[in-house]
């Protein structure tokens, strides 16, 4: 009997302790507050929603803030600084982009597209739906949440963010590059810097509209685009042919230059001879033709006064004057 009474007493003490422990665990699991901390280049969305209630948008959290919110609330941070979409064959967000030129040559280009996510939290209304969190809330609910594109807890861009860029940036960029490339030949884009710059500007002009069409066009989710494209590369066979053509052009130019140099030398020689002829004519005018020839012979080491049969001395020994 005494043992039963003791066991009953312990049970009355133990059961409330167990109940209290259950309540504490419940509070720790379901009632503990949620927290969020944004960096200087982040804006976060705060959604209310406890363990037994649906989630609904509450407010935006500005950069460089730390907040403590209700249990079960959610926070989704997005970058407010510039975003890059790099497309290359090394460590880019996507691979090089191919396109076809006006003359039907497939070319490949690498580069980077820069832009900003529209993180405006100014309230807006689209149709019958109001978004108190503005463009950022709408982006999150239409696109960001679907791809889990919000930033990781340690403030990095997530795999979902990169996947989202592959759909909403890479595809419009591919289209813009392809459309712009159809206005130029491969040689213009590969060898003419001015044509390449015009093509790059055409890509930039088309990109924002194509991106907006890829979303839904009601709200601009991406802003302030900039494009840097490397020199597009044709197939290796085309580059080899260009090298041959350039070598042939260089050889032709060298031959032309040599011919022009020879012609110039010949013309110069003619001018020298003309000048010399003028000098000779001037001496002839002064000395007469005979005098010039005698002087010419003397100048060149010759004796212009050779004996002849018309002289006073003849070949007959002892004879003078033909006597």
The pLDDT of residue 172: 97
From the list 111, 89, 116, 83, the residue with the least C-alpha distance to 180 is 111
Dihedrals phi, psi of 167, to nearest 5 degrees: -90, -50
**Contact, 134 vs 123, CB < 8 A?**
yes
Average pLDDT estimate for 178-198: 96
Q: Domains in the chain, ordered, with CATH?
A: 37-234 (3.30.479.30)
The pLDDT of residue 12: 59
Looking at the chain, the whole-number percentage of residues with pLDDT higher than 70 is: 82
CA distance 292 to 1: 167
For residue 132, CA distances in Å to 60, 93, 292, 293 come to: 9, 32, 112, 114
**Taking 70 as the threshold, does the pLDDT of residue 206 lie above it?**
yes
Q: Which residue(s) pair with 86 in the sheet? A: 112
Structure tokens at 220: 């601009």
CA distance 245 to 238: 10
**Taking 50 as the threshold, does the pLDDT of residue 178 lie above it?**
yes
Average pLDDT estimate for 168-176: 97
Question: What number of other Cβ atoms are within 10 A of residue 99's Cβ?
Answer: 22
**Taking 90 as the threshold, does the pLDDT of residue 17 lie above it?**
no
pLDDT band at 71 (very low <50, low <70, confident <90, very high): confident
Write the CB contacts of 121 (distance below 8 Å, at least 6 apart in sequence).
43, 59, 60, 133, 134, 135, 136, 137
**Taking 80 as the threshold, does the pLDDT of residue 7 lie above it?**
no
Question: What number of other Cβ atoms are within 10 A of residue 104's Cβ?
Answer: 9
CA distance 310 to 323: 15
Question: What number of other Cβ atoms are within 10 A of residue 57's Cβ?
Answer: 17
Sign of CA dihedral 98, 183, 191, 239: positive
pLDDT band at 280 (very low <50, low <70, confident <90, very high): confident
Contacts 24+ apart (CB under 8 A), 211-215: 211/168, 211/169, 211/172, 213/172, 214/167, 214/168, 214/171, 214/172, 215/142, 215/143, 215/168
- For residue 321, the 8-state DSSP code is T
pLDDT digits 0-9 by tens, 104-126: 999 999 999 999 999 999 999 99
């Amino acid at each position: 009997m005494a043992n039963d009474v003791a066991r009953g007493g312990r049970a009355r003490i133990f059961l409330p302790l167990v109940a209290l422990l259950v309540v504490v665990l419940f509070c720790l699991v379901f009632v503990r507050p949620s927290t969020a901390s944004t960096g200087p280049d982040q804006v976060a969305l705060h959604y209310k929603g406890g363990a037994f209630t649906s989630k609904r948008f509450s407010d935006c959290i500005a950069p460089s803030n730390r907040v403590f919110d209700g249990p079960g609330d959610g926070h989704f941070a997005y970058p407010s600084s510039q975003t890059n979409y790099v497309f290359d064959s090394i460590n880019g967000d996507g691979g090089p982009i191919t396109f076809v030129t006006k003359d039907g040559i497939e070319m490949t280009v690498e580069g980077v597209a820069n832009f900003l996510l529209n993180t405006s939290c100014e309230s807006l209304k689209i149709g019958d739906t109001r978004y108190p969190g503005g463009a950022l809330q709408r982006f999150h609910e239409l696109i960001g949440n679907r791809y889990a594109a919000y930033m990781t807890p340690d403030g990095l861009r997530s795999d979902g963010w990169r996947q989202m860029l592959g759909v909403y940036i890479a595809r419009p960029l591919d289209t813009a590059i392809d459309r712009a490339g159809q206005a130029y030949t491969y040689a213009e884009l590969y060898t003419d810097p001015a044509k390449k710059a015009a093509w790059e500007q055409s890509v930039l002009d088309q990109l924002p509209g194509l991106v907006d069409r890829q979303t839904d066009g009601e709200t601009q989710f991406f802003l302030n685009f900039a494009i840097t494209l490397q020199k597009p590369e044709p197939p290796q066979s085309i580059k080899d042919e260009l090298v041959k053509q350039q070598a042939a052009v260089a050889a032709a130019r060298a031959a032309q230059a040599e011919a022009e140099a020879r012609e110039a030398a010949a013309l110069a020689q003619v001018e020298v001879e003309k000048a010399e002829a003028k000098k000779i004519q001037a001496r002839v005018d002064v000395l007469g033709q005979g005098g010039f020839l005698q002087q010419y012979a003397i100048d060149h080491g010759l004796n212009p006064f050779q004996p002849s049969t018309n002289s006073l001395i003849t070949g007959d020994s002892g004879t003078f004057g033909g006597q």
